[in-house]
Amino acid sequence: MVSPSGKRRAVKQVVEEGLCSERRACRYMRLWRSSGRYEVKRDPGGWKDQLMKEIARLSHKHPCLGYKKIARVLRETGWHKVGRKLVQRLRREMGLRVKRWEPRRRRQGESTGKHPTRALYLGHVWTVDFIADRTDNGGRLRMLSVLDEWSRELLELEVERSLKAQDVKSVLSRLVEEYGAPEHLRSDNGSEFISKVLQEWLAEQGIKTLYIDPGSPWQNGHVESFHGSLRAECLNRELILSVTEARVLSADYRRHYNQERPHGGIGYLTPAAMRAASQALGSSRPTGSLRQRLDSPPVPMLALTS
C-alpha cells in the first residue's frame, strides 16, 4: 500500500516528465488534487526539536516510564498541548520505546474462594512486605515497604541489616501516630507478620489483619508491583556501599515515588496528589452505615441512591 506522500512524489515525477496532466495522474493514483498539492509544514520555531530533546531527557532520566507517563510529566511541566499519541510517535522515531515483557503463561485452575477485596478509600487497607538486597561488599540489606492501597502512597521504606517483628511493630506504630490507624493490614504469612507481639499490638489498635494464601503473592499485588518498580528504577541502577547510603537512596526514591512519579492505577496522578484529592473531599472514611465488609460484594451505586 502506497502512502499519500509516496503518491504525491509519483504524481510530481509524472507531471515533470510530461507523461500526463496533474489531474489525470491524481486520478490514476486515486489521490485528491488538494492532497497532491499539499506541502509538508515546517517547524520554523523549532518547537518539535525542543520537544524531542525534552522527551529524550525525561526518557533517559526515567528509563522505565512509558509514553503515557512521560506525556503526563510533560503536561505538568508546561507542554500543555502535548498528547500521548505524539509522545508515542516521537519516542518510536528516537528508538526510546520501553521493552514490553510478555508475561509467562501459567497454569490456571478454577477458583473456589473469594478474591481479596480492593481498598475503597484512604486508610482502608495498608499493605506491607519485605524486599531484600545487598551492598557492594556482600552485606545484607532488608527493606520493609508500607503502602496505602487506595492512594498507592509509599508510607515508609525502612532499611536495616535485619528486621524482626518488634521492628515491624515500631515502624507501624510510628505511621499510626502520623497518619492514623488503618482498618486492615494486608500481608503474607511471614514470621514477622504472624508473630504474637505484632498481633497483640494490632488488636489493641483495632486493626484487622488480611493474610494472603501461602504461595499467592498476586493477592498482595500492590506491594509486589511497587517492589518491581523499586528494583528497576532504583536498586538495579545504584551501587550501594553501606546501610547509610541505602537509607539516603530509599528516602530520595520515596519522595520521587510519592510526589513526582505518575501512577497508572490512579489516573496518572502522583500518590501525593491522590491523597490530597481524597482529603479535599472531606473525611476519607465513610460513615458506618455505608462502610462495607471486606468479604462482601461491592454495593451498586443505584442501591445507595434508591
| pLDDT for residue 215 | 83
Q: Which residues, in sequence order, are bridge partners of residue 184? A: 125, 208
DSSP 162: -
Question: What is the spatial distance between Cα 233 and Cα 228, in angstroms, rounded to a whole number?
Answer: 8
Question: What is the spatial distance between Cα 177 and Cα 172, in angstroms, rounded to a whole number?
Answer: 9
pLDDT in tens, 62-121: 888 889 999 999 999 989 889 999 999 999 888 887 777 776 664 433 433 344 567 889
Q: How many residues does the chain have?
A: 306
Q: Which residues, in sequence order, are bridge partners of residue 158? A: 144
Q: Among the residues of the chain, which ranges form H helices?
A: 4-16, 22-28, 33-36, 47-61, 67-76, 84-94, 165-179, 196-205, 221-233, 243-259, 271-280, 301-305
For residues 295 and 234, the model is more confident at: 234
- CA 14, 16, 19, 20 torsion-angle sign: positive
- CA–centroid distance for 116 within its chain: 20
pLDDT in tens, 169-195: 999 999 999 999 999 999 988 889 989
Question: What is the spatial distance between Cα 125 and Cα 263, in angstroms, rounded to a whole number?
Answer: 18
Q: Is-above-0.75 flag for pTM?
A: no
Question: What is the spatial distance between Cα 117 and Cα 120, in angstroms, rounded to a whole number?
Answer: 9
264 φ/ψ angles, rounded to the nearest 5 degrees? -65, -30
For residues 26 and 287, the model is more confident at: 26
204 φ/ψ angles, rounded to the nearest 5 degrees? -65, -35
List CB contacts of 56: < 8 A, sequence separation 6 or more: 94, 96
Quickly state the pLDDT bin for 282 (edges 50, 70, 90): low
- pLDDT of 45 above 90: no
| pLDDT for residue 42 | 65
- pLDDT of 162 above 90: yes
Quickly state the pLDDT bin for 275 (edges 50, 70, 90): very high
